[in-house]
Structure 1
Amino acid sequence: MIRTTIENGVATLTLDNPGRKNALSASALGELADAVESLNRDATVRALVLCGAGGDFCAGGDVSAMQGGAQVDTASVRRRMIESQRPCAALAGFDKPVIAVVDGVAYGAGFSLALMADFIVASDRARFCLAFARMGLLPDLGALHTLPRMIGAQRTRELVYSARELPAREAQALGLVLDVLPAEALGARAQELALAMSTQSPEAFAMTKRLLAQTFERDFGALLDAEAGAQAIALTSPYLREAAARFARKEPPAFRWPRNDIKT
């Protein structure tokens, strides 16, 4: 169900169940969490691309495996839900860049999963939907935390309560999607971004990512204090010394953001 490849320091995790539009079973969620945790420990991996096979990202939870709520012990379901949240914790704690590549559908938990990435790039045929209300459910896999931080409370309520489909261009206009591209250009753009970001200082990136994740929870003074400690580490790093030497030699920096010149 989860396929892993690593090339040039970029790991690609592929949800590989195209016959079910890569729907997430309990076993697939466990495999995904294991893979993300393993890649975070792998020093040779500098960035992660998360995608789906067969022209879709992920159709969400495996509805065929769900049972009627009145017939199931609530406590046992809660335990299963806590276990299913492992990929969220693994991706939230992933110290390296994560890019979600969304082609086709990103529904339900698939949408939630994409929101755990640092960036989402989408095809022009991608569709996002928090479809939970259609099944009498509430959003899971962290979407009630991640989504309002990206688009605000009002827009989040509208998408959650309506369970409507969100086309790629509207998702980009809301700030959910970084780039919208033709499907055939999507993989190359994701790899280009991942390779570029992998040339950043791994220490500085990891600390920046952690502080950004805490920005709504810390007051300004606490954030400044954490920033000072993190910057002290970055300012004494080998990466900074090499970057300063390149500057003195009038050489281009190792890290340069790749422009997106593909028009749709």
Structure 2
Amino acid sequence: MPQLVEIVNPKGPVAELRLNRPAKKNAVTLELLEELVAACAALAAAPGLRAVILAGTGGDFSAGMDTSVLMSFAGDIEGIKAEMLDPPDGIANRFQAPTKALADLPVPVIAAIDGVCFGAGIQLALAADFRIASPGAKLSIMEAKWGLIPDMGISLSLPKLLPADRAKALIMTARVLSGEEALTEGLITRVADNPHAAAMAFAEDLAARSPDAIRAAKTLVDRLWSDTPVGGLRLEAELQAALMGAPNQVETVMAQMQGRKPDYR
């Protein structure tokens, strides 16, 4: 069975993490999230690592959480909520752990974004230090489509990138942005016709510099622009747990599935 997350050149100096469900536009499953955490742990221990590229296979970054996963939650929604609110490490639950693992890598992480980058996918991309997207890429913080909020570690990334009003607008509307629009909004670092080639060139440039200085620079900026992650991750989990399975969230899902206008109470 093929790996859901491929590690290319794991010893470095430039390694790649590839989301590998191309037939499903790299839609995220729980197994994929687990593999991504494990892959990050393996790379973090590689002494020759200088940079990491995060990408999807098959022309898309990620279509977001696989709808089959969302549907499976309906059978044990209280159990899912309890799990979200009681993470094993006291900080990040299993939905947040991959973005925290990416953010915690000691070397620069560059997301190369082609095709769609929605929901869970964009939260993974936002966990990278840099994002390079094609002009025609489609990006969206899409959880509002399902009556939910982004809760996969976006509290670690979005406050560094956007003022509050822009963040609220993107989260509340689930607006789909082109690569060019995402650059204007501040969600991505730059636009390139070939994001993977541009990410590789950038990674090789970083890899040629003092690894001590690059790691120290990442630590410096992350600490200056961040607070402790505990409060934000906990807030994500609490707000999402309150939404999941509530009447209006169920109505949102049913309306989406049935192609009709929702009737909120």
Both proteins in one fold, TM over 0.5: yes
- Contact 2:100/2:127 (<8 A) preserved: no
Structure 1 length normalisation: TM-score?
0.76
Q: Post-superposition shift, 1:69?
A: 6.3
Displacement of 1:78: 4.1
> Sequence identity of aligned pairs in percent?
36
Structure 2 residue 68 is the aligned partner of structure 1 residue 64:
yes
- What is the alpha-carbon root mean square deviation over aligned residues? 1.9
SS in 2 for 1:200: coil
- 2:5 pairs, out of 2, 7, 11, with 2
Does the alignment pair 1:44 with 2:48?
yes
Question: What pairs up with 1:159-178 in 2 under 5 angstroms?
Answer: 159-178=170-189
Say if 2:114 is the partner of 1:138. no
Residue among 7, 10, 16 paired with 1:12: 16
Counterpart of 1:3 in structure 2: which amino acid?
E
The 1:98/1:70 distance shift into structure 2, 3 A limit, reads closer
Q: How many pairs are equivalent? A: 216
Question: 2: distance between equivalents of 1:77 and 1:66?
Answer: 13
Q: Which runs of 5+ in 2 are unaligned?
A: 88-92, 228-265
- Quick one: structure 1 residues 207 and 168, their matched pair in 2 at CA, closer, same or farther if it must change by over 3 Å? same
What secondary structure is seen at the aligned counterpart in 2 of 1:177? Answer: coil
What is the TM-score when the length of structure 2 is the normalising length? 0.76
| AA at the equivalent of 2:6 | R
Out of 185, 193, 198, the residue aligned to residue 207 of structure 2 is 198
Q: Can you give the 5+ residue segments of structure 1 that lack an aligned partner in the other structure?
A: 219-264
State the one-letter code of the partner of 2:122. F
Higher normalized contact order (CA 8 Å, seq sep 6+, divided by chain length): 2
1: CA distance, partners of 2:12 / 2:43: 14
- Whole-Å separation in 2 of the counterparts to 1:135 and 1:127: 18
The range that moved more, 124-133 or 85-94, is 85-94
Counting only pairs closer than 5 Å after superposition, residues 63-142 of structure 1 correspond to structure 2 as 63-67=67-71, 71-79=75-83, 82-142=93-153
**1:149 equivalenced with 2:152 (yes/no):** no
Distance across 2 between alignment mates of 1:38 and 1:70: 33
Q: Where does residue 250 of structure 1 map in the other structure?
A: none
Structure 1 or 2, whichever has the larger Rg, is 1
Look up the match of 2:253: none
Q: Counterpart of 2:18 in structure 1: which amino acid?
A: T
CA offsets 1:48-86 (integer angstroms, 9 cap, x no match): 000001110011111112237664242444426812222
